[in-house]
């Protein structure tokens, strides 16, 4: 009997870190289930996947995403790794300019999106599977409270939504602490993407390489900085 092909589920797979991770896992002969919003992105992933990539056309911000995910996974098999990567940046970095609509929009992606996708995928996860929520140093209450990020511009909505995502991750870590599953958050570094911070200095490809290798040693309940140890929640 041949060796079982491992499967990873990646959201936000059409660009940036998600696309780089998709390429990396495909190169390592994993099966990749990728969640994207646009038909052209799904077609591109199928083309580069050469039979190893299985795109789902949906959106983490809508409840119907769960039915779309489960519809595929029912006939697909178990998931070894889930990477909740879908995300975007905000606009307003002052209190006066921050709108409720902007905060609501980012919460729907970074927190509720993670909730929707993880609830849909969890029944198909292997018992010893790994869930990684791509977070940010800007979601660390400790870093904000101690002024470590005072000189770096970042929107209120992004910080708020990533902090909420971190709390969701911590709640899951506590609930599943006695299982074989590993759940953690990862700040992927200061990546040069469309929503990059002003001090971005790493490429998504670099981050994907390191994250793939780090999978072997992921510990439950940690908040990792991909290029620099761990972060206080």
| 63 assigned to some structural domain | yes
Of 2-6, 76-80, 116-120, 167-171, the least confident: 2-6
Identify the band that residue 201 occupies on the pLDDT scale cut at 50, 70 and 90: confident
Question: In whole angstroms, how far apart are CA 203 and each of 47, 126, 189?
Answer: 23, 31, 9
What secondary structure does DSSP assign to 28-83, as a single string? TT-EEEEEES-HHHHHHHHHHHTTSEEEEE--TTSTTHHHHHHHHHTTT--EEEEE
Least confident of 8-12, 73-77, 116-120, 172-176: 73-77
pLDDT at position 1 is 45
Residue 230 falls within a domain, yes or no?
Answer: no
pLDDT tens digits for range 71-100 = 999 988 899 999 999 999 999 999 999 999
Number of domains the chain is built from: 1
Is 140 a member of any domain?
A: yes
Task: Map residue 165 onto helix, strand or coil.
Answer: helix
Q: Domain range spanning residue 39?
A: 7-225
- Is 2 a domain residue? no
Query: Can you tell me the distance from the alpha carbon of 130 to that of 108, in angstroms, rounded to the nearest whole number?
Result: 23
Q: Using the predicted structure, report yes or no on whether residue 20 has a pLDDT greater than 70.
A: yes
- Assess if residue 232 is contained within a domain: no
- CATH number, domain with residue 13: 3.40.50.720
- The verdict on residue 231 lying in a domain is no
Question: From CA 90, how far away is CA 106, in angstroms rounded?
Answer: 7
């Amino acid at each position: 009997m041949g060796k079982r092909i491992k499967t990873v589920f990646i959201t936000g797979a059409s660009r940036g870190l998600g696309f780089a991770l998709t390429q990396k896992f495909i190169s390592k002969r994993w099966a990749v289930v990728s969640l994207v919003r646009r038909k052209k992105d799904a077609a591109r992933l199928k083309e580069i996947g050469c039979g190893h990539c299985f795109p789902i056309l949906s959106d983490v911000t809508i409840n119907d995403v769960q039915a779309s995910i489960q519809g595929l996974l029912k006939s697909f098999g178990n998931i070894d790794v889930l990477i909740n990567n879908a995300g975007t940046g905000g606009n307003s970095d002052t209190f006066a300019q921050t709108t409720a609509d902007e905060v609501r929009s980012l919460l729907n992606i970074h927190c509720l999106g993670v909730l929707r996708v993880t609830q849909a995928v969890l029944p198909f996860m292997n018992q010893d599977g790994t869930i990684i929520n791509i977070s940010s140093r800007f979601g660390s209450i400790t870093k904000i409270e101690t002024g470590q990020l005072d000189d770096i511009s970042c929107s209120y909505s992004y910080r708020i939504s990533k902090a909420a995502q971190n709390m969701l991750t911590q709640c899951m870590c506590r609930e599943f602490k006695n299982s074989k599953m590993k759940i953690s958050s990862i700040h992927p570094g200061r990546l040069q993407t469309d929503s990059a911070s002003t001090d971005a200095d790493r490429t998504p490809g670099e981050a994907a390489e390191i994250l793939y290798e780090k999978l072997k040693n992921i510990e439950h309940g940690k908040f990792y900085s991909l290029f620099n140890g761990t972060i206080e929640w």
